Amino acid sequence: MATIFSRIAAGEIPSYKCAEDENYYAFLDINPLAKGHTLVIPKHEVNYIFDIEDEEYKGLWAFAKKVAVALKAAVPCERIGVAVIGLEVPHAHIHLVPINKESDMDFRNKKQFPADEMAAVAARVLEEFSKL
């Protein structure tokens, strides 16, 4: 059965899309650490990120870099923090989080933002991504 993230990338389940190409997809985390917290996934379903074959793995990080550049342009912040956890959803993904201090990366501090704010930030990232 397809993972929830495959179904999101396929458009079967709605998401706040931030970026997409042929092989990769980026969308807002539904329980973000900060506004703009983005998940970057390969469309090809692999559970554990270090099981991805080399070319696809390199492509995933190159795509994540572009998304991070777009995210930083869209959301004022000091840095884009990066994390890979993967304990909850068995489909490899990279967390990109706009941060200003170390504690902004504390995964015990999940937040929620209104739908209109999520849609607006995703649209800003998508716009910045389209310029790259």
Q: By CB under 6 A, name the binding residues for ligand 5GP.
A: 4, 15, 27-31, 39, 85-89
Pick the closer one to ligand 5GP by CB: 5 or 55: 5
User: Of 77, 83, 69, which Cα lies nearest the Cα of 99?
Assistant: 77
- Residue 48 CB, nearest approach to ligand 5GP (Å): 11
The Cβ-side half-sphere exposure at 103, using a 13 Å CA radius, reads: 1
The rounded distance, in Å, linking the Cα atoms of 115 and 13 is: 15
Pick the closer one to ligand 5GP by CB: 30 or 62: 30
- Residue 36 CB, nearest approach to ligand 5GP (Å): 13
